[in-house]
Amino acid sequence: DVKVTQSSRYLVKRTGEKVFLECVQDMDHENMFWYRQDPGLGLRLIYFSYDVKMKEKGDIPEGYSVSREKKERFSLILESASTNQTSMYLCASSSGTGAPYSNQPQHFGDGTRLSIL
Amino acid sequence: AQSVTQPDIHITVSEGASLELRCNYSYGATPYLFWYVQSPGQGLQLLLKYFSGDTLVQGIKGFEAEFKRSQSSFNLRKPSVHWSDAAEYFCAVGANAGNMLTFGGGTRLMVKP
Protein backbone atom coordinates (compact mmCIF):
# COMPACT_ATOMS: atom_id res chain seq x y z
CA ASP A 1 0.00 0.00 0.00
CA VAL A 2 1.05 3.56 -0.66
CA LYS A 3 2.10 5.40 2.44
CA VAL A 4 2.01 9.18 2.55
CA THR A 5 3.31 10.51 5.85
CA GLN A 6 2.86 14.02 7.12
CA SER A 7 5.28 14.98 9.84
CA SER A 8 2.79 16.51 12.27
CA ARG A 9 -0.89 15.82 13.01
CA TYR A 10 -1.35 19.03 14.96
CA LEU A 11 0.69 22.21 14.89
CA VAL A 12 0.25 25.54 16.66
CA LYS A 13 2.25 28.55 15.49
CA ARG A 14 2.19 32.31 15.95
CA THR A 15 1.41 35.00 13.43
CA GLY A 16 4.49 35.98 11.44
CA GLU A 17 6.37 32.74 12.02
CA LYS A 18 7.84 30.75 9.15
CA VAL A 19 6.15 27.36 9.13
CA PHE A 20 7.28 24.15 7.46
CA LEU A 21 4.94 21.24 6.75
CA GLU A 22 6.67 18.06 5.60
CA CYS A 23 5.34 15.20 3.53
CA VAL A 24 7.04 11.95 2.55
CA GLN A 25 5.75 9.20 0.25
CA ASP A 26 7.22 5.73 -0.10
CA MET A 27 5.95 4.64 -3.53
CA ASP A 28 8.37 6.47 -5.81
CA HIS A 29 5.52 8.60 -7.14
CA GLU A 30 6.39 11.36 -9.55
CA ASN A 31 3.61 13.73 -8.53
CA MET A 32 2.97 15.33 -5.18
CA PHE A 33 0.33 17.82 -4.08
CA TRP A 34 -0.53 20.12 -1.21
CA TYR A 35 -4.16 20.97 -0.45
CA ARG A 36 -5.91 22.89 2.24
CA GLN A 37 -9.28 21.72 3.49
CA ASP A 38 -11.83 24.09 4.95
CA PRO A 39 -15.43 23.30 5.95
CA GLY A 40 -17.82 23.64 3.04
CA LEU A 41 -15.05 24.40 0.57
CA GLY A 42 -13.73 20.90 0.05
CA LEU A 43 -10.08 20.60 -0.91
CA ARG A 44 -8.31 23.40 -2.70
CA LEU A 45 -4.98 22.87 -4.41
CA ILE A 46 -2.13 25.06 -3.20
CA TYR A 47 0.86 23.72 -5.15
CA PHE A 48 1.89 20.57 -6.92
CA SER A 49 5.11 19.08 -8.20
CA TYR A 50 5.60 16.59 -11.00
CA ASP A 51 9.32 16.12 -10.63
CA VAL A 52 12.20 16.92 -8.35
CA LYS A 53 12.82 20.68 -8.19
CA MET A 54 9.69 21.29 -10.30
CA LYS A 55 6.64 23.06 -8.92
CA GLU A 56 3.44 24.52 -10.25
CA LYS A 57 0.91 26.83 -8.64
CA GLY A 58 -2.51 25.49 -7.86
CA ASP A 59 -5.67 27.46 -7.19
CA ILE A 60 -4.59 29.27 -4.00
CA PRO A 61 -0.78 29.66 -3.90
CA GLU A 62 -0.69 33.11 -2.29
CA GLY A 63 1.20 33.11 1.00
CA TYR A 64 2.73 29.69 0.38
CA SER A 65 5.81 28.23 -1.24
CA VAL A 66 7.03 24.67 -1.71
CA SER A 67 10.25 22.73 -1.99
CA ARG A 68 10.98 19.39 -3.58
CA GLU A 69 14.65 18.54 -3.32
CA LYS A 70 14.13 14.76 -3.27
CA LYS A 71 11.53 12.70 -5.07
CA GLU A 72 9.95 11.32 -1.92
CA ARG A 73 9.67 14.59 -0.01
CA PHE A 74 7.49 17.65 -0.64
CA SER A 75 7.51 20.54 1.78
CA LEU A 76 4.96 23.32 2.16
CA ILE A 77 6.25 26.61 3.55
CA LEU A 78 4.24 29.43 5.04
CA GLU A 79 6.68 32.32 4.73
CA SER A 80 4.93 34.52 7.31
CA ALA A 81 2.00 32.73 8.88
CA SER A 82 -1.30 34.55 9.22
CA THR A 83 -4.49 33.63 11.06
CA ASN A 84 -6.35 33.02 7.79
CA GLN A 85 -3.98 30.15 7.12
CA THR A 86 -5.44 28.21 10.03
CA SER A 87 -6.69 25.08 8.31
CA MET A 88 -6.26 21.37 7.68
CA TYR A 89 -3.44 20.68 5.22
CA LEU A 90 -3.39 17.50 3.18
CA CYS A 91 -0.54 16.09 1.15
CA ALA A 92 -1.10 13.62 -1.68
CA SER A 93 0.92 11.74 -4.27
CA SER A 94 0.20 9.98 -7.53
CA SER A 95 2.03 8.09 -10.24
CA GLY A 96 2.41 9.20 -13.85
CA THR A 97 5.36 10.72 -15.62
CA GLY A 98 5.55 14.26 -16.89
CA ALA A 99 2.75 16.58 -15.95
CA PRO A 100 0.35 15.13 -13.38
CA TYR A 101 -2.34 13.05 -14.97
CA SER A 102 -5.76 13.55 -13.45
CA ASN A 103 -6.79 9.98 -14.19
CA GLN A 104 -4.33 8.64 -11.66
CA PRO A 105 -5.73 8.26 -8.15
CA GLN A 106 -4.15 10.45 -5.56
CA HIS A 107 -3.08 8.90 -2.26
CA PHE A 108 -3.45 11.11 0.79
CA GLY A 109 -1.71 11.54 4.10
CA ASP A 110 -3.67 11.90 7.34
CA GLY A 111 -3.38 15.68 7.33
CA THR A 112 -1.87 18.37 9.53
CA ARG A 113 -4.25 20.56 11.47
CA LEU A 114 -2.49 23.91 11.69
CA SER A 115 -3.57 26.68 14.02
CA ILE A 116 -2.08 30.14 13.70
CA LEU A 117 -2.55 32.28 16.81
CA ALA B 1 -12.68 25.02 -16.05
CA GLN B 2 -14.40 22.12 -14.39
CA SER B 3 -16.46 22.38 -11.22
CA VAL B 4 -18.13 19.96 -8.83
CA THR B 5 -21.23 20.43 -6.71
CA GLN B 6 -22.32 18.22 -3.85
CA PRO B 7 -25.76 19.63 -3.01
CA ASP B 8 -26.11 17.93 0.38
CA ILE B 9 -23.81 19.18 3.12
CA HIS B 10 -25.16 16.77 5.72
CA ILE B 11 -27.11 13.54 5.38
CA THR B 12 -28.39 11.29 8.15
CA VAL B 13 -29.55 7.74 7.48
CA SER B 14 -30.46 4.83 9.70
CA GLU B 15 -28.15 1.85 9.85
CA GLY B 16 -29.26 -0.72 7.27
CA ALA B 17 -30.98 1.87 5.08
CA SER B 18 -29.90 2.62 1.54
CA LEU B 19 -27.77 5.64 0.72
CA GLU B 20 -27.36 7.94 -2.24
CA LEU B 21 -24.95 10.88 -2.23
CA ARG B 22 -25.29 13.33 -5.06
CA CYS B 23 -22.54 14.78 -7.21
CA ASN B 24 -22.95 17.07 -10.20
CA TYR B 25 -20.07 18.22 -12.33
CA SER B 26 -19.51 20.78 -15.00
CA TYR B 27 -17.13 19.99 -17.82
CA GLY B 28 -17.42 20.08 -21.60
CA ALA B 29 -16.10 16.62 -22.38
CA THR B 30 -16.03 13.26 -20.64
CA PRO B 31 -14.41 13.78 -17.28
CA TYR B 32 -12.52 11.48 -14.99
CA LEU B 33 -14.61 11.06 -11.83
CA PHE B 34 -13.69 9.95 -8.34
CA TRP B 35 -15.29 9.43 -4.96
CA TYR B 36 -13.16 9.68 -1.83
CA VAL B 37 -14.07 9.09 1.81
CA GLN B 38 -12.53 10.80 4.81
CA SER B 39 -12.97 9.27 8.25
CA PRO B 40 -12.54 11.60 11.24
CA GLY B 41 -8.95 12.64 11.74
CA GLN B 42 -7.72 10.89 8.64
CA GLY B 43 -6.81 11.61 5.07
CA LEU B 44 -8.87 10.78 2.01
CA GLN B 45 -9.26 7.21 0.77
CA LEU B 46 -10.27 6.41 -2.79
CA LEU B 47 -13.62 4.60 -2.98
CA LEU B 48 -13.97 4.30 -6.75
CA LYS B 49 -13.19 5.95 -10.05
CA TYR B 50 -14.70 6.29 -13.51
CA PHE B 51 -12.63 6.83 -16.62
CA SER B 52 -14.64 5.28 -19.45
CA GLY B 53 -16.69 2.22 -20.37
CA ASP B 54 -19.36 0.78 -18.11
CA THR B 55 -21.17 3.68 -16.47
CA LEU B 56 -21.85 1.71 -13.28
CA VAL B 57 -18.67 1.49 -11.26
CA GLN B 58 -18.05 -0.75 -8.29
CA GLY B 59 -15.80 0.36 -5.49
CA ILE B 60 -14.55 -0.72 -2.12
CA LYS B 61 -16.67 -1.17 1.02
CA GLY B 62 -19.78 -2.08 -1.01
CA PHE B 63 -20.13 1.31 -2.71
CA GLU B 64 -21.04 1.90 -6.33
CA ALA B 65 -21.54 4.98 -8.48
CA GLU B 66 -23.27 5.62 -11.75
CA PHE B 67 -22.09 8.08 -14.38
CA LYS B 68 -24.99 9.78 -16.16
CA ARG B 69 -23.76 12.02 -18.92
CA SER B 70 -27.19 13.48 -19.67
CA GLN B 71 -27.51 14.67 -16.08
CA SER B 72 -23.82 15.51 -15.52
CA SER B 73 -24.00 13.40 -12.40
CA PHE B 74 -21.96 10.77 -10.65
CA ASN B 75 -23.98 9.72 -7.62
CA LEU B 76 -22.63 7.36 -4.99
CA ARG B 77 -24.83 4.58 -3.65
CA LYS B 78 -24.79 1.85 -1.09
CA PRO B 79 -27.69 -0.58 -0.54
CA SER B 80 -27.25 -0.97 3.22
CA VAL B 81 -25.32 1.50 5.34
CA HIS B 82 -23.18 0.40 8.29
CA TRP B 83 -22.34 2.57 11.29
CA SER B 84 -18.70 2.55 10.16
CA ASP B 85 -19.70 4.42 6.98
CA ALA B 86 -20.14 7.61 8.98
CA ALA B 87 -17.60 9.95 7.41
CA GLU B 88 -17.25 12.79 4.95
CA TYR B 89 -17.48 11.98 1.27
CA PHE B 90 -15.90 13.95 -1.54
CA CYS B 91 -16.61 13.80 -5.24
CA ALA B 92 -13.80 14.95 -7.55
CA VAL B 93 -13.49 15.56 -11.26
CA GLY B 94 -10.44 15.65 -13.49
CA ALA B 95 -10.30 16.74 -17.09
CA ASN B 96 -7.64 16.23 -19.72
CA ALA B 97 -4.24 14.96 -18.74
CA GLY B 98 -2.31 17.77 -17.16
CA ASN B 99 -5.31 19.25 -15.36
CA MET B 100 -5.76 18.92 -11.66
CA LEU B 101 -8.56 17.36 -9.72
CA THR B 102 -11.37 19.63 -8.61
CA PHE B 103 -13.14 18.57 -5.43
CA GLY B 104 -16.69 19.19 -4.32
CA GLY B 105 -17.42 20.71 -0.92
CA GLY B 106 -18.11 17.33 0.65
CA THR B 107 -21.12 15.58 2.21
CA ARG B 108 -20.99 14.58 5.85
CA LEU B 109 -22.81 11.31 6.48
CA MET B 110 -24.19 10.46 9.90
CA VAL B 111 -25.60 7.00 10.64
CA LYS B 112 -28.31 6.51 13.25
CA PRO B 113 -28.37 3.23 15.20
pLDDT tens column, A30-60: 889 999 999 888 899 999 998 898 899 988 9
Chain B residues whose C-beta is within 8 A of a chain A C-beta are 4, 6, 9, 32, 34, 36, 41-46, 49, 51, 90, 92, 94-101, 103-106
Q: Strand B64-68 vs strand B56-58: parallel, antiparallel, or unpaired?
A: antiparallel
- Which whole number is the average pLDDT over A48-73? 93
Distances (CA, A) of A15 to A58, A79, A116: 24, 11, 6
Share of chain A above pLDDT 70, in %: 92
Residue type, B52: S
Q: Does A1 touch chain B (CB under 8 A)?
A: no
Q: Could you give the CA distance from residue A57 to residue A65 in angstroms, rounded to a whole number?
A: 9
Span B70-100, pLDDT tens digits: 999 999 999 999 999 999 999 998 865 555 7
Span B31-85, pLDDT tens digits: 889 999 999 888 899 999 998 888 999 999 999 999 999 999 999 999 999 999 9
Cβ-proximal residues to A22 (8 Å cutoff; 6+ apart), any chain = A6, A7, A8, A73, A75
- Which whole number is the average pLDDT over A81-90? 97
CB A20 within 8 A of CB A75: yes
Span A11-25, pLDDT tens digits: 999 999 999 999 999
CB A58 within 8 A of CB A74: no
The per-residue pLDDT for A84 is: 96
Query: Could you say which of A42, A102, A107 has the minimum Cβ distance to residue B106?
Result: A42
Give the residue with greater pLDDT, A79 vs A100: A79
Partner B, chain A 85-114, Cβ-Cβ below 8 Å: 90, 92, 99-103, 105-111
**Residue numbers in B near A92 (CB within 8 A):** 43-44
DSSP letters spanning B29-56: SPPEEEEEEE-TTS-EEEEEEE-SS-SE
Q: Strand B3-5 vs strand A112-116: parallel, antiparallel, or unpaired?
A: unpaired
The per-residue pLDDT for B88 is: 96
CB B36 within 8 A of CB B90: yes
Are the beta carbons of B101 and A41 separated by less than 8 Å? no
Residue A102 clears pLDDT 90, i.e. is over it: no
CB A24 within 8 A of CB A91: no
Q: How far is B34 from chain A (nearest CA, A)?
A: 8
Of A87-96, A98-107, B94-103, highest mean pLDDT: A87-96
CA nearest neighbour of A67 among A59, A76, A58: A76
- Interface test with chain A among B5, B90, B100, by most A beta carbons within 10 Å: B100
